[in-house]
Structure 1
Amino acid sequence: MEGSTGNSPAPPPAFRNRYWILRHGRSVPNERGLIVSSLENGTKPEFGLAPQGVEQARSAGESLRKELEEMGVPVDSVKICYSPFSRTTETARVVAGVLGVPFEGPSCKATVELRERYFGPSYELLSHEKYAEVWAIDEADPFLAPEGGESVADVASRLAGVLSSADVEFHGSAVLIVSHGDPLQIFQAVLSGAKENPSFLDDASGLRKESLVISSVLSQHRKFALNTAELRRVV
């Protein structure tokens, strides 16, 4: 911490790009109160955005455009990486339209590693109220997965990989990551750890060792919760 004595944490890692995250707009699963977390179900058209979600996505696009203008960042530097689920694909498409970024062009990329956290067959297509059970496990042990599903650590590993890859692939870009509630909470937890200690990102990518530092950071991912279509600059 600033002003502390002794060994100070290393400075935040230097990223080559600016990064924003965006949770998808209000979706049909949100309105129906359903957990839709498998790739098979999540890519079905019937689980896309609700009408309100389309409007939310449009508003998020306008907010991002305004931020870019205020920062003097050209729109042609924007790269959009999005989960292939219907609700995230539709959100990314709307935002790209607002910004004037060709959705079918090289600046927009479906990235399977940004998919929803898979909660496992015991939760799939059940009530949203079941999330509380998973989050209680997360807080106790982020390395423990729901049966047949993904742990916080599993998701952190793939999202740390996305960030590392994007920072190699792009340079001087404004990168928008369009994903889901749990993955984006976990992504922010990884970034939070990286700001304290740059090696955290490498540790999170490997994540086969149950580091106490990683565990303490990941178990608190809920504090980074986002509303539907909430836009947040993270780097």
Structure 2
Amino acid sequence: MNHLRDITSLKNRYYIMRHGQSKANLQQIIVSLPRSDSREDYGLTELGREQVRASIANSSLTADTIIITSGFSRATETSDTVRAVLGAAEIQVTDKLRERNFGSWERPITQIMKRYGTMTG
């Protein structure tokens, strides 16, 4: 017999948060490779940290929230801020949440536009 048939509601809630504004966002640089992220500081700007704090303040998350993040600096800074604000226990880091690999487009957007033109339809 299927034991799920008698379950009328689930208790799990999932909250997905994108990182706050990063230094790469400001510089209009695509950073999708871990080696690129580790060569320079592409973490959050002060505005990015404020965005994260504001998102948490407007959420219903509590200290028992399980936080899972990618290892990119912008994501770990976001999750560190979330953890600090909530008083959550720990952060789980997984490669499964990494940015897609943009390959040869791993550079400033202006260089891509020079080579390929604008990105509008």
User: Does TM, normalized by the shorter one, top 0.5?
Assistant: yes
Q: Distance in 2 between matches of 1:54 and 1:44?
A: 21
User: SS state of the match for residue 125, structure 1?
Assistant: coil
* Corresponding position of 1:109: 92
Amino acid at match of 2:83: A
CA distance 1:117–1:50, shift in 2 (3 Å): same
More helix by share: 1
Q: TM-score, normalised by structure 2?
A: 0.76
Pick aligned residue for 1:25 from 14, 20, 40: 20
Bigger relative contact order, structure 1 or 2 (CA pairs below 8 A, ≥6 apart): 1
Deviation at 1:77?
Answer: 3.0
* Counterparts of residues 208-227 of structure 1 (less than 5 Å): none
Deviation at 1:41?
Answer: 1.3
* Corresponding position of 2:56: 61
More strand by share: 1
Superposition RMSD in Å: 2.6
Aligned length: 109
Question: Structure 1 stretches (4+) deviating beyond 4 angstroms?
Answer: 128-133
Q: Distance in 1 between matches of 2:39 and 2:11?
A: 35
CA distance 1:81–1:58, shift in 2 (3 Å): same
Q: Distance in 1 between matches of 2:29 and 2:74?
A: 13
Give percent identity, aligned residues only. 37
Q: Distance in 2 between matches of 1:44 and 1:16?
A: 41
Q: TM-score, normalised by structure 1?
A: 0.41
5+ residue gaps, structure 2 = 1-8
CA distance 1:96–1:113, shift in 2 (3 Å): same
Amino acid at match of 2:14: Y
Pick aligned residue for 2:107 from 117, 125, 143: 125
